[in-house]
């Protein structure tokens, strides 16, 4: 039986008529950008995430760019971030004219290692951008302390971790601004590109809203140079329909993770960990195997038509576009090791017990 890495059809089937109705309403009003659907979604999102305000934007990448614009990060600044993440984390820093400073990850959580951040602090850093990778929050207690000790801004890349918690608070609400992505593969997904910035400070919220719309303070009066980071009304309306189901979908991901945990226990694979005090939302269920085995296991699963992903095979400090930063193979050994060992399995809500068993059987056959 073929098993996809992601199947959104089960999630959409029960909501399809509400989603079509939302589309009809927007078509009738011709209000395609921002508008009431956005205001309503933003209020619901802020409440769900446990923060003062949410500002809907055009993508997760734009949420990061807008957050940095809002915090005044630009040329000459350094921003500490993880090398083991999707390209947008480091790419957005470089697009601001700032320098990404890649710091190695914790070998167990695969998130930024706070001890390594301490070592990387120079007089230049302006901010830290922790990434809550695969749905597990970074160590925000220690990162927050480092940031306050060194007067650094914190932009949380929460693209993969809506609903994840650490020390009783949701990822994305610890720092100055939290950035969400609603790309279609994400735990809460739009039918296209969309994102949001989470914030707990009204003056930052005001600046986010202004910069989202070309820095406009009143119609055709531009206080700052911003950009077009607006969310489509349709995406906001569709996300608003889906948001009340997020908790159920997260529970389903967590149940699938628990099931994998039981069924993979006797196989030579390292399973993802949920540290005490954290809630993992399993955007990905990422196992680790010996580097020399990973690609063979991948080929075996491909042959069995079992979906998987390798997120991410090349860490950011080894990307050609960042060669000028001076790091090379061996500079960040934990990130490099993770890139050679990881493999993510289907974990989406709606994955059936039979499909999950098929994935486990595929892996088990490989090792026997």
Ligand X SMILES: Cc1ncc(COP(=O)(O)O)c(C=O)c1O
Residues that bind ligand X (CB under 6 A): 59-61, 85-86, 88-89, 131, 157, 159-160, 181, 183, 193, 195
Of 11 and 59, the one with the shorter C-beta distance to ligand X is 59
Task: State in angstroms the smallest separation of the CB of 344 from ligand X.
Answer: 12
Task: State in angstroms the smallest separation of the CB of 283 from ligand X.
Answer: 8
CA distances from 319 to 128, 314, 327, 360 (A): 20, 7, 10, 33
Task: State in angstroms the smallest separation of the CB of 304 from ligand X.
Answer: 27
Of 190 and 204, the one with the shorter C-beta distance to ligand X is 190
Interacting residues of 249 by C-beta distance below 8 A, sequence separation 6+: 11, 187, 349
Tell me how many degrees the CA angle 60-189-339 measures, rounded to the nearest 5.
60
Task: State in angstroms the smallest separation of the CB of 183 from ligand X.
Answer: 4
Of 178 and 195, the one with the shorter C-beta distance to ligand X is 195
Q: Which residue is nearest to ligand X (CB)?
A: 60
Of 159 and 257, the one with the shorter C-beta distance to ligand X is 159
Of 178 and 226, the one with the shorter C-beta distance to ligand X is 178
Task: State in angstroms the smallest separation of the CB of 138 from ligand X.
Answer: 11
Phi, psi values for residue 212, rounded to 5°: -60, -25
Using CA atoms in the order 271, 4, 11, 194, what is the torsion angle rounded to 10 degrees? 80
Of 181 and 286, the one with the shorter C-beta distance to ligand X is 181
Task: State in angstroms the smallest separation of the CB of 136 from ligand X.
Answer: 12
Of 117 and 356, the one with the shorter C-beta distance to ligand X is 117
Check if the beta carbon of residue 6 is closer than 8 Å to that of residue 347.
no
Of 60 and 226, the one with the shorter C-beta distance to ligand X is 60
Give the position of tokens 């997260």.
250
Task: State in angstroms the smallest separation of the CB of 13 from ligand X.
Answer: 24
Check if the beta carbon of residue 168 is closer than 8 Å to that of residue 157.
no
Task: State in angstroms the smallest separation of the CB of 319 from ligand X.
Answer: 14
Half-sphere exposure of 322 (CA within 13 A, CB side): 24
| 301-332 per-residue burial string, b: 16 or more CB within 10 A, e: under 16 | beebebbbbbbbeebbbbbeebeebebeeebb
């Amino acid at each position: 039986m073929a098993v996809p890495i992601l199947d959104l059809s089960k999630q959409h089937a029960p909501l399809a008529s509400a989603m079509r109705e939302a589309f009809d309403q927007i078509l009738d009003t011709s209000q395609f950008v921002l508008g009431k659907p956005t205001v309503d979604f933003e209020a619901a999102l802020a409440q769900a995430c446990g923060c003062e305000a949410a500002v809907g934007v055009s993508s997760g990448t734009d949420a990061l760019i807008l957050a940095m614009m809002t915090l005044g990060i630009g040329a000459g600044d350094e921003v500490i971030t993880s090398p083991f993440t999707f390209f947008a984390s480091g790419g957005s820093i470089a697009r601001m004219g700032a320098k990404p400073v890649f710091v190695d990850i914790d070998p167990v959580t695969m998130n930024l290692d706070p001890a390594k951040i301490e070592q990387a602090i120079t007089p230049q850093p302006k901010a830290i951008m922790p990434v809550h990778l695969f749905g597990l929050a970074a160590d925000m207690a220690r990162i927050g302390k480092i940031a306050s000790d060194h007067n650094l801004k914190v932009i949380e890349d929460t693209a993969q971790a809506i609903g994840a918690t650490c020390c009783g608070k949701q990822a994305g609400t610890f720092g100055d601004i939290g950035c969400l992505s609603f790309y279609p593969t994400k735990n809460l997904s739009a039918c296209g590109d969309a994102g949001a910035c989470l914030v707990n400070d009204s003056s930052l919220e005001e600046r986010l809203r202004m910069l989202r719309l070309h820095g406009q303070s009143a119609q055709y009066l531009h206080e700052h140079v911003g950009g077009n980071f607006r969310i489509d009304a349709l995406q906001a309306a569709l996300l608003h329909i889906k948001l009340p189901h997020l908790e159920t979908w997260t529970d389903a991901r967590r149940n699938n993770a628990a099931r994998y945990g039981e069924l993979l226990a006797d196989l030579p694979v390292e399973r993802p960990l949920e540290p005490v005090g954290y809630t993992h939302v399993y955007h990905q269920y990422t196992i680790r195997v010996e580097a020399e085995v990973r690609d063979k296991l991948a080929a075996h699963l491909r042959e069995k038509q079992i979906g998987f992903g390798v997120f991410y095979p090349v860490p950011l400090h080894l990307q050609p576009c960042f060669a000028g930063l001076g790091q090379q193979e061996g500079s960040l050994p934990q990130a490099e090791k993770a890139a050679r060992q990881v493999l993510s399995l289907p974990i989406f809500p709606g994955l059936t017990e039979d499909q999950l068993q098929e994935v486990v059987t595929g892996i088990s056959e490989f090792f026997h």
